[in-house]
Amino acid sequence: MGSLTGQRILITRAASQSSTFRDLLEAQGATVMEMPTLEIGPPSSWAELDGAIAQLSRYHWLVLTSANAVEFFWQRLEAIGDLPSAPASSRADALGQLKIAVVGQKTAAVLRQKGFEPSFTPPDFIADSLIEHFPAAVAGLKILFPRVESGGREVLVRAFQAAGAEVTEVAAYESGCPKLADPAAIAALRDRTLTAITFASSKTVRHF
């Protein structure tokens, strides 16, 4: 028997990101229900990201603070095809000129699945620790920062800018609240039959 045998646990993270966590809980004997309060999708426009991809050679660093940023950046990179700024080079060659900083082991793992090793991963798995441990002088750097369209990581961006970096923020994906919820999960909440509810971000709490 696992340490969570008899526990009924509700997961609220995005459906596309819940499988590993669910497997871990079920391996410990928990009964798991899902009610995603976060939905991940493309931004309202690809224009900003497309423009940045077309000029990758002007950047020194690519900063990716989530697995979503990696997935959607690569999705668009593959959709565009060869880079206009370097028509004789493959995408791998163009990206090879960039150093890539990531936050968290999950983000690093997704990047490795794309065939690239992170140039830098901070010891603390939070975005705001990135500049504190950054391995290069920041002044004068041109940094590309694909992020969620609705905004975030303002402290990180301001810190880089205050240190003299030029940061280009582009919308790579968007997160929102799903329109429908699982009736079984709603019933479990109403009947108070759950042992625990898990939240993986502040947005999942707000949407709940």
Does residue 118 contact residue 108 with C-beta atoms inside 8 Å?
yes
DSSP H helices in the chain: 19-27, 47-53, 67-80, 91-96, 105-113, 154-162, 183-190, 202-207
**Quick one: pLDDT at residue 120?**
94
**Quick one: pLDDT at residue 88?**
36
**Quick one: pLDDT at residue 111?**
94
Q: What angle do CA 136, 139, 144 make, to 5 degrees?
A: 80
Neighbour-count burial of 9, counting CB atoms closer than 10 A to its CB (0-12 exposed, 13-18 middle, 19+ buried):
buried
| pLDDT tens, residue by residue, 135-191 | 999 999 999 999 999 877 788 899 999 999 999 999 999 987 777 778 888 888 888
**Quick one: pLDDT at residue 78?**
83
Phi, psi of 119 (to 5 degrees): -75, -30
CA distance 148 to 65: 10
Predicted TM-score of the model (pTM): 0.77
**Quick one: pLDDT at residue 18?**
61
**Quick one: pLDDT at residue 108?**
95
Residues of the chain with pLDDT under 70: 1, 15-18, 81-94, 96, 127-128, 208
